[in-house]
Amino acid sequence: MAEQGHWFRGFRWSASATAFTAVLQLALVGVLARLLSPADFALVALAGVAVNILLQLQIAGINAAIIQREENTPLALYSLFWFNVVLGGVLCLAAGLAGEGLAAYYHRPELAPVTRLYALALLVQGISVQFKSLLQKHLHFEVLSWGEMLGGIAGFIAALAVACYQAGPWALVAGYLARYLVEGCWVVWRGWSIFRPAWRFDWKSLRPYLDFGSRHWAERLATFALAQLDVLLVGHFLGLEVLGRYDVVKRLLLRPAGLLATAIEKVAFPVFSSRQRQAGELRASYYSMLRLSLSLLFPGYALLFVLAPFVLRLYAGPGWEEAAPLFRIMCLWGICQVFLHPVDNLLLATGRIHWWFWMALAQAPLWWLALAWGSAYGINTAIGALVAVQVILVVFTYWKIVTHLLKTT
């Protein structure tokens, strides 16, 4: 009971921070939808394809291995810190080059500088990510939650300030950078008592982390690339104007599920890992967290489905009511995501994360076919076809993966 109470307190802090930042972000997008054009949102969404996938790679891999391993030697932590710093610089350069390619492909030269500025978040996170992992490993959820909330406030203020003085995609990028900078400074300051870098590096000490991390990186790369595929294909098949409207609806509907998944993941990963050899307790923990997610999000999605025109008019302003059919289709996608989000934590904790990698690869051609066929009939049919693929994925995942894993673990 004491252990359950401890994990519940951790989830309560994570969920509180998640709810706070979700409200801030929804409010921010609602305000910026009145100040910026759909094309501005589309530019940042495309830049995010290059940057966000690399941000995910920084968090995953060797930094997840820090949490998963029972002991981390000081030499290994020193080496990992400098590895993260160098990796942040390399990924920043890679994102900048990717921005040049996206600008050429979409014939929007302004996309290149937007991506380069956005990529500075990779440098900031390269310094702070290990402190965040250690705080999570030592169960300092209160500290992490305060960092998340302070970063959200800073991003909100920065985005609005830039939007008031210079309307355009720079407002969104300024908000992202302010969030990462403030949160990064906070976790470094509060994590300094746990870990202080030293000028020491040993490549051999990194090998166990790289072995674990390579599998996790592969899964995250495939999964996140798949999650960005709809942005690329909608922009390609239907144009930036349609993509901008789609991105606003997607932010409103899928972001809450993603944020809740992040809050649960901070607690679920260590909980599932500690019970990976206890099938009964693991099964109970998994379905308990799934029920919690459904109880929090399913009623909300059902209500949004019914009130779609009113919510769009209230949230994004006049003229957005025509997106109500798309809004309702995306509600169904959001429910699918609630079922799928806990699965990768289960696979990661039980050492089978490579299964999710192969699932992502198998989905990619199905996504392309769904969007390529549906785009001929408009955005609603295109996303409706994509949601049909998601429903099939949920059924297959629980039929062939989750039930099997929870029986045999």
Check residue 104 and give its pLDDT: 85
Q: What six digits make up the tokens of 10?
A: 């951790």
Check residue 1 and give its pLDDT: 46
Closest residue by Cα to residue 72 from 130, 121, 126: 130
Low-confidence ranges of the chain (pLDDT < 50): 1-3
Q: How far apart are CA 24 and CA 152, in angstroms?
A: 7
Enter the pTM of the model: 0.69
Check residue 147 and give its pLDDT: 92
Residue length of the chain: 409
The model's pLDDT over 272-324, given as tens digits with 9 standing for 90+, comes to 776 767 777 888 888 888 887 888 788 988 998 998 888 888 877 777 888 88
Rg (CA), the chain: 21
Non-local CB neighbours of 187 within 8 Å, separated by 6+ positions:
128, 131, 132, 135, 143, 144, 147
